[in-house]
Structure 1
Amino acid sequence: MTGTMRAQRFYKATGQWAVEDVPIPEPGPGQVLIKVAYCGICHSDLSLIDGVFGGMGTPDVITQGHEASGTIAALGEGVTGWSVGDRVIPAAGRPCGTCANCLRGPVGQCLNIQLMAFAYDGAWAEYTLAGAFGLTQVPDGVPMDQAAILADAVSTPFGAVVHTGQVRIGEAVGVWGVGGVGTHIVQLARLVGANPIIALDLEEAVRERALEIGADFAFDSRDPDLQAKIAEATKGRMLDVAFDAVGVKSTFEQGLAMLANGGRVVVVGLSGDEASLGSTLGFGLSRKQALGHLGYQGTDIAILAELVASGRLDLSRSISGVVSLEDVGEGIRRLHEREGNPIRILVQP
């Protein structure tokens, strides 16, 4: 395939971006070319634009967007098992192939994982390249807009709940920040049997939405009686797992404080804030755990896609709006300003 396409291009040196005409990329060995159907706008995309993420390892010019769905438009040399026209979700990252873990086999544990839209071009574009090994088939009946957000907005919470947090049936769970990530943590915690699930957010409308999608309680994290309310909701046990989907000092430390002895706080949101675990004496005696989380395992997207296809996981409320590629700036603004408290805004090239 030859010719040009429209793509968003971010210029690291100036922090500026524009939608431009660029050559349609050609798939190399083991790669496929994907005609993008939808691609989400994530807070991590905004962090690169805003300079919160320093961009180490990011090329001087890059196309953003890492939550994509689309159809295969062309196959690179050596690709088998896939056909032009297949509906797919590309992985939002790829192993480096050269670190110690990659060389000895477990590529899912790559020490230098390369992130789509940070280390290589993403999918705020008409076409994007992806490795065939990281593709997930979109099952019949799964809308392509919902399929797109599986690549991060849902799979990262899945990884946090199932792998890092290891939530078990009957455990009490708290979720700080019920936006694009926290919303899906609530839904997935309910799916695995957490009880009760407590959502914490500053916005009343967001707290009401959290109750509608599966939370048992929803509290304002600024409430001076918050500890007593959580104690009452958990019948005095406090929380087994606290998920910090915001990632700032106040939410981390509050989540840690609301844990039962032996509980886990899982940090999913990211910021430059420094937080404290308190004294080593108190932390050690309480046997609490502080766990960092990033990403998901390769099979998680396929599991989630089947859950959506079977009706076990409802993502119909997760799409808060769709903008064209030419209007990606409007989508960025709406997410940045939290206009309408969006869960996910998508780009449709």
Structure 2
Amino acid sequence: MKALVLTAIQRFETQDLPTPHIGPEEVLIATAYSGVCGTDHDLYAGRPGSAPAKPPIVLGHENSGVVAGVGSEVTNVGIGDRVAVDPNIYCGECLYCLTQRPELCDRLSAIGVTRNGGLAERFVAPASVVYALPGSVSLKAAAAIEPISCGVHGVDMLSLRPYQKALVIGDGFMGQLFVQILQAYGVHQVDLAGIFDDKLERNRQQFGVIHTYNTTRESVPEDAYDVIVEAVGLPATQAVAVKAARKGGQVLMFGVGKQEASFAMNAYDIYRKQLTIQGSFINPLTFSDAIALLASGKVDVEPLISHVLGLEQVQEFLDGKISGVSKAVVRIQD
């Protein structure tokens, strides 16, 4: 089978690999689409994602496809089913798994990170992380279920009420997803700050955003929002997020920054305003919610997918040679 293999830092090779063997509780999936995200940029550059990737490895952790084979003990899906795959696999035995925090698992493994993923014609996943798709969800859209599920976990970490005003900082793919997810969870006003006028306008016109701020020429108001989602991962935007929170506010630090990055906070303001500053890591048990959001139409992801790539274009994209990308997915096969 054809596969794109990361053989070294910033080096891919197209290889002909044997079709992987499946065990009794595993599923063989013919990949349809595989999304490419910031984690793949990090893994390509030799930085860790949810876990370090050790070449040679096939990346691709945002995957949809069709079941091509099932192990003898698999009962939740069958051959020919259209599916999406949660890449994260937990040990079920460590302290964090046993105290209902599996995302912090000491022995976390992940498809497309620590084991071969979807940038290949076939890949294998445990049946426990394979989800059948409703007919209303396309395979193209299903490649975004994993990032949607990460957003769902983020909002699950917050206490949301309809009266709240929310601000999303970052008009990248995840920031735009958070606009729709917060709305789906009942927040009555969601505003967006970013740097691209076309994206800000689309979210006003298509997704009901009330106020937008282009931070290249406008300031985000301080002490103004009950909920702030920081979806950039830069110290400057993280500092803005904290300042934007009004009394009793909640700040979700979702954007993934550099490991050595830090920013300054005024400790008295955190005390005085009784702020909650919350991190969010991966997507524990949120795939079903993400699928439901897509199937119901409360999250519409296809307008955000700007590029459909071939395997041969992945390295070009990760090298920054393809511009104007909102979200890229790789079409492996129809």
So what's the TM-score if we normalise by structure 2? 0.90
Alignment partner, residue 155 of structure 1? 149
1:215 matched to 2:209? The reply is yes
SS of residue matched to 2:60: coil
How many percent of aligned residue pairs carry the same amino acid?
A: 25
* Partner of residue 164 from structure 1, selected from 154, 157, 160: 157
1:68 matched to 2:52? The reply is no
1:89 matched to 2:84? The reply is yes
In 2: Cα distance, 1:282 partner to 1:221 partner: 23
* Partner of residue 34 from structure 2, selected from 30, 39, 43: 39
Q: CA deviation at 1:70?
A: 0.7
Q: Tell me if structure 2 keeps the 8 A contact 1:59–1:119.
A: yes
In 1: Cα distance, 2:296 partner to 2:92 partner: 35
Gaps of 5+ in 2: none
Alignment partner, residue 332 of structure 2? 348
In 1: Cα distance, 2:243 partner to 2:34 partner: 37
1:309 matched to 2:295? The reply is yes
Alignment partner, residue 118 of structure 1? 113
Alignment partner, residue 238 of structure 1? 224
Q: CA deviation at 1:64?
A: 0.6
Q: CA deviation at 1:302?
A: 2.1
In 1: Cα distance, 2:18 partner to 2:116 partner: 13
The amino acid that maps onto 2:121 is: E
Q: Tell me if structure 2 keeps the 8 A contact 1:252–1:275.
A: no
1:180 matched to 2:173? The reply is yes
Q: 1:105 to 1:187 in 2, by over 3 A?
A: closer
So what's the TM-score if we normalise by structure 1? 0.87
The amino acid that maps onto 1:283 is: I
Q: CA deviation at 1:62?
A: 0.7
In 2: Cα distance, 1:46 partner to 1:167 partner: 32
Q: 1:243 to 1:56 in 2, by over 3 A?
A: closer
In 1: Cα distance, 2:304 partner to 2:196 partner: 17
Q: 1:155 to 1:104 in 2, by over 3 A?
A: closer
Alignment partner, residue 132 of structure 2? 137
Tell me how large the CA RMSD over aligned residues is. Answer: 2.3
Number of paired residues? Answer: 331
Gaps of 5+ in 1: 232-236
